[in-house]
Structure 1
Amino acid sequence: MTAATFHNALILPVVGEQPWFWGWLSVDDAGRISGLGEGTPPADAPSPRHDLEGRFLAPGFVSAHSHIYTGGMRGVAPSSPLYEWVSLNGQMLLGADAEDLYWMTLAGGLDHLSNGITSVYNFTQSRVVSIFDYERSVLAPQRVHSPEFVTRQIDGLAASGIRFVTSVRLDDEQLREDDAFTGFDTAMRYLDTVPADQNLGGSVYGAVQWSSSPATAERERTLMSSYGITNQAHFVETAEQIEIQQAKFDWYDAAGVLGPGFAFGHFVHPTDEMVTRVRDTGSAVVWQPMSNGRLGSGIADVPRLLRESVTVGMGVDDQSCTDVSDPFENMRTGLFLQRGLHSDPGLLTPADVLALHTLGSAAAIGVADRVGSLEVGKFADLLIVDPYSPHTGPIWDPVATYVLGCGLRNLHEVIVGGSTVWRRGVDDPQRARADHELTERMIASAAGSGIRPVRLSAPAGTAGS
């Protein structure tokens, strides 16, 4: 990391009273923001100085809910609801081993970075590969791996250079209790091998939605207390078996896990009582509009949650159900769905969804002290977005142009901790190899379940950059 100053930029800080300003931002040798302001940089601002020529300078996006290993399953089950889709995902992974998950995760981390996501809450694929049992409304194990199946995913994300929270499922109903807790402990301790600036902490992959007993909620509470970590649980995501899902909310509440360290992922079909308890306990909600739409899960009532002062973040979810991990598209999808549903164009603004996918996401997963906005002392995780290539026309409202008129085609450069990790037009050999390994390993894994793609491998010369 090298100190530098970016100037002549249209800055979107996503914090404070000014939604945008023309100015400068400096980065110190530790990769943190050391200063920013309007106009030209002061004489003592560090060099080198980079003239952004009027481009946007904004915080990196935060995906508060991702399953980052899933890029090899894009386009699968294209017209299926959640549980059919997730079961097919499980079948396709039955042939995978720990090394396969390393490459799948590395490819996913690099893909997130190239789309402007610089921090992510990552649900690791459990060491127990399962399919959904409709009769019992639980996850039915199909293959069990050693803890290395999870720790190699940690290695993959660390190698990508992205910042990440690592979420691990206990699997207390699929494994012996001692084995489940030992495996969880192995993963949490393994996080010590991750560079400190990348490691945003560990978390519990909440699994009460698929459990058969309140004991799972109580065990998750023990983990949260023992390790001092957060918890995010998929909950009331789909209308399928909705009464069963809603009834399990009380298990979490009774176990005492609700609070500022707890988030519900999706939360599409809550009861009024559930919303009240989330508000009163200070719990958070993470919204995935693209995947909820793709899977026909429903539309979360995010405007109501915001009116209730609930902390809300956004995530791009699985690469196999978004199916492009594109935060610009995710913001617009959420914004347009809410406006259309409520017939109210003023219900959410571009500034609202930009805040949700940056600072709101960081707050929902407990890392807002380090990422999510442009503030002195935070990590210098920056996006340079060029509204002139391709040209978006005159800029009447900078935040509106950024959210509504820009996209991945305008993304010029991604910077993490002051260092460039992706730049348009620059080939990345690591990405090329990771994409190749992902493709070949995913094909081999799925073949064990008799699932084969139309094209068996990527044509030569098509590796990502």
Structure 2
Amino acid sequence: MPTTVLLPRWLIPIEPRRVLTEHALIIENDQIAAILPAAEALQRYASAEIVHLPDHALLPGLINLHAHSAMTLLRGYADDLALMTWLNNHIWPAEGKHVSVGFVYDGSALAIAEMIAGGTTCANDMYFHHGAVARAAIEGHFRMMVGCSILEFPTPYANNAQDYIDKALSCIDEYRGEKLVGFTLAPHAPYTVSDETFRLVIEHADALGIGLHCHIHETQDEIDASLKNHGMRPLERLDGLGLLQQKLVAAHMVHTTDAEIALLAQQGVNVSHNPASNLKLASGFARIADQVAAGINVGIGTDGAASNNKLDMFAELRLAALVAKAQSSNPEALPAWQALEMATIHGAKALGWQDRIGSLAVGKQADLIAVNLASAGTQPCYDPVSHLVYAADRTQVSDVWIAGQPVYRQHAHVGAFAATALARAHHWQKQIQETHA
């Protein structure tokens, strides 16, 4: 790849908290080679490709810390329902009929196309047919942490917990060494995984040196059921099993006591806050301001498009900041800088990738987005960070680079990957509608 000089109006490295003007960022191969004054860059790199971004903020790509990418093909399939009704009566039956390698690849590809166009360059996924997710990420040139779902009950993908684990381990071995893809073991939730399976999953994750990903404390019903079946709340049970540790991403964490927040902070657990999904499923209001104040590393996720119904990290950014203020009765809770850090460097830390992505620094991977703030809705611009959180939307993302490669230029996808994904989505819509007519 040729050396590229990016000349934005504002350059926002995230770490440290500052906004640079009249600066350039240099991409060489897949890395950030330099950040320096624009005049010096133009002189030093006179023969490089120059990309002018005169009305744009340049910042790290956003990191979606909790997603079910393939479920994008079930967007709008079942709405306005409680979580367990939604799962038991609609989503799981539909998945039982349709989930296959083709479904997972095509759904993941569609999600990747949507996320790239919205400024997301990395997602922490959780689903089945992990090789199909990995292949979609590689072919879409998207950074993906592939979560290998593990449950006790049979699905079209696996027969029992051991079968899920075996397939996960095989896939992890197959894709070892891929630069854009990593893996976690993802026990689905406390109510779908036994103590024995949790212990086995932790043992394998420790042996492989990989992370863990689990839905925890999403609803009050989950907690009530745990008290009935185990005599304790889910977090207490999981702590006893050894799941609460620095390499765990705990999705949702809506219902937490003061003692549980302190426990999460003490154990170094990472939390994925998914405000839109929590609201749509009426799961509740997570105490994010309290969790952040306690020192917990909190990132932001969309959850799946079947429960959101969009993979829009700019919408999640704004919602996270607003809900935190209302929930805590504190207008100073989760200010714009903090929200933007949650969607970038905090997500990277949660995945153990903070040395690669999440901020703009020399030597890091060139996962970058340019956001055009010239439109009426983001003018005048006194503070670009404020606008990115409270005013801008995903349609203002103009350019995206992942590992130094342009994948979205001047509001258009590069290559045929996105167009093919869209065509396949129409195919699946017809098939699913005919099956459930």
User: How far apart in 2 are the matches of 1:251 and 1:217?
Assistant: 11
Q: Structure 1 residue 219: deviation in Å? A: 1.3
Alignment partner of 1:207 out of 176, 188, 213: 188
Q: Matches of residues 10-409 of structure 1 in structure 2 within 5 Å? A: 10-29=10-29, 31-42=30-41, 43-45=43-45, 47-87=48-88, 88-96=90-98, 97-124=100-127, 126=128, 149-172=129-152, 174=154, 175-176=159-160, 178-192=162-176, 196-199=178-181, 201-211=182-192, 213-245=194-226, 247-389=233-375, 392-409=378-395
Listed one character per residue, the Cα deviations across residues 406-436 of structure 1 (whole Å, up to 9, x for unaligned) are: 1122111111122211134536533222112
Q: Answer whether contact 2:302 2:313 (CA < 8 A) is retained.
A: yes
Q: Structure 1 residue 55: deviation in Å? A: 1.4
Distance change (3 Å), C-alpha of 1:418 and 1:153: closer
Stretch of structure 1 that moved more, 262-271 or 81-90? 81-90
Q: Which has the higher helix share?
A: 2
Matched letter for residue 40 of structure 1: A
Q: Answer whether contact 1:390 1:410 (CA < 8 A) is retained.
A: no
Distance change (3 Å), C-alpha of 1:114 and 1:363: same
Q: Which runs of 5+ in 1 are unaligned?
A: 127-148, 453-465
User: How far apart in 1 are the matches of 2:107 and 2:219?
Assistant: 27
Q: Partner residue of 2:402?
A: 416
User: How far apart in 2 are the matches of 1:400 and 1:212?
Assistant: 42
Q: Answer whether contact 2:78 2:306 (CA < 8 A) is retained.
A: no
Does residue 1:2 correspond to 2:5, yes or no? no
Q: Partner residue of 1:134?
A: none
TM score, norm. by length of structure 2: 0.91
Q: Partner residue of 1:129?
A: none
Q: Structure 1 residue 395: deviation in Å? A: 1.3
> What SS is found at the alignment partner of 1:372?
coil
Distance change (3 Å), C-alpha of 1:79 and 1:374: same
Q: Structure 1 residue 19: deviation in Å? A: 4.2
Q: Structure 1 residue 190: deviation in Å? A: 2.3
User: How far apart in 1 are the matches of 2:7 and 2:170?
Assistant: 45
TM score, norm. by length of structure 1: 0.86
Q: Which runs of 5+ in 2 are unaligned?
A: 227-231
User: How far apart in 2 are the matches of 1:238 and 1:20?
Assistant: 42
Listed one character per residue, the Cα deviations across residues 195-214 of structure 1 (whole Å, up to 9, x for unaligned) are: x3212x21011234223631
Distance change (3 Å), C-alpha of 1:178 and 1:41: same
Q: Structure 1 residue 28: deviation in Å? A: 1.1
Q: Answer whether contact 2:35 2:362 (CA < 8 A) is retained.
A: yes
Does residue 1:437 correspond to 2:437, yes or no? no
User: How far apart in 2 are the matches of 1:105 and 1:21?
Assistant: 37
Listed one character per residue, the Cα deviations across residues 23-70 of structure 1 (whole Å, up to 9, x for unaligned) are: 1111112x1001113453333236122221141111100011111112
Q: Answer whether contact 1:70 1:319 (CA < 8 A) is retained.
A: yes
Q: Structure 1 residue 442: deviation in Å? A: 4.2
Q: Answer whether contact 1:95 1:446 (CA < 8 A) is retained.
A: no
Q: Structure 1 residue 186: deviation in Å? A: 1.4
Q: Structure 1 residue 255: deviation in Å? A: 2.1
Q: Structure 1 residue 405: deviation in Å? A: 1.8
Q: Partner residue of 2:229?
A: none
Q: Answer whether contact 1:392 1:406 (CA < 8 A) is retained.
A: yes
User: How far apart in 2 are the matches of 1:321 and 1:34?
Assistant: 40
- Using the aligned pairs only, state the percent identity: 20
User: How far apart in 1 are the matches of 2:17 and 2:115?
Assistant: 30
Distance change (3 Å), C-alpha of 1:216 and 1:208: farther
Q: Answer whether contact 1:285 1:312 (CA < 8 A) is retained.
A: yes
> What SS is found at the alignment partner of 2:260?
helix
Listed one character per residue, the Cα deviations across residues 236-282 of structure 1 (whole Å, up to 9, x for unaligned) are: 11122422346232332122232211121100012333222211111
User: How far apart in 2 are the matches of 1:379 and 1:80?
Assistant: 41
